[in-house]
Amino acid sequence: MERLMICGIDEAGRGPVLGPLVVAAVMVEDDAALRKIGVRDSKKLSSARREDLALRILEMSTVQMEVAEAGEIDEARSGMSLNELEVEMFASLIERMRPETAYVDSCESDEIGFSRKISARLSYKPKMVCENKADDRYPVVSAASIIAKTHRDALMKLLEERLCEPIGSGYCSDPTTCAFLKSWIDRTGGLPPHTRKSWETAQKALSLAKNARITDWD
């Protein structure tokens, strides 16, 4: 008898100026085991707790991910919105995993419209549950948010090692990230690798640095 599977999908790294966007899909037969280990929205968990839960999720479910690097995001945004890019990534995971029901954390207020956009890109018709804050309501989406967040954190640590200096989380609100961007621009006159150059924050930082150098000429 064919097992009826459910899948949760969520992302990490939608807004940062630096680093990748990670979308994760977690598929299980039911969410009982996920409830038992206490999965929650990744933003409400400590880093250590997320890492512990991620290992347990990997043991009890099928997991797949899609990663869009900063350059890929910039290229995609020349022809589509960030929301449309997420739709493409979500649909790609659902198509590969083919669950009977897909629970998706919607990035748009129009949840029905977001669901329809994903469904239009699929070759089959699963039941779609697209909701805002789904990562706080459905354990299978909470699990996906944990996997996406821990994987992105690991990728950011690798970038930090390659660049040989602290880069922070990549978010505009992170003082370490802001200091890194300013320092790099001051030294080189350009944006560092893995920066989303299409982001207003990146262009503003570059403009401010150039204006500062012009002021120094006076």
Checking if the pLDDT of 122 tops 70, the result is yes
AA identity, residue 81: S
Cβ contact 201:172 at 8 Å: yes
CA 215 to chain centre: 38
pLDDT band for 2, please (50, 70, 90 cuts).
Answer: low
Q: pTM of the entire structure?
A: 0.92
- The CATH code belonging to domain 6-160 is 3.30.420.10
Predicted confidence at residue 161, as pLDDT, reads 95
CA 195 to chain centre: 15
Predicted confidence at residue 210, as pLDDT, reads 65
Query: Average pLDDT, stretch 37-44?
Result: 92
Checking if the pLDDT of 201 tops 50, the result is yes
Cβ contact 39:142 at 8 Å: yes
Query: Average pLDDT, stretch 197-205?
Result: 87
Predicted confidence at residue 200, as pLDDT, reads 87
Predicted confidence at residue 204, as pLDDT, reads 86
For the chain, what is the radius of gyration of the CA atoms? Answer: 19
Residues of CATH 1.10.10.460 domain(s) within the chain? Answer: 162-216
State the fold for domain 162-216: Arc Repressor Mutant, subunit A (1.10.10)
**CA–CA distance, 140 with 9 (Å, rounded to integer):** 8
Is 127 strand, coil or helix? strand
**CA–CA distance, 102 with 26 (Å, rounded to integer):** 10
Is 218 strand, coil or helix? coil
Predicted confidence at residue 215, as pLDDT, reads 38
Residues of CATH 3.30.420.10 domain(s) within the chain? Answer: 6-160
pLDDT band for 208, please (50, 70, 90 cuts).
Answer: confident
**Which parts of 94-204 are beta strand (E)?**
101-105, 127-131
pLDDT per residue as tens digits for the range 43-99: 899 999 999 999 999 999 999 999 999 999 999 999 999 999 999 999 999 999 999
Predicted confidence at residue 94, as pLDDT, reads 98
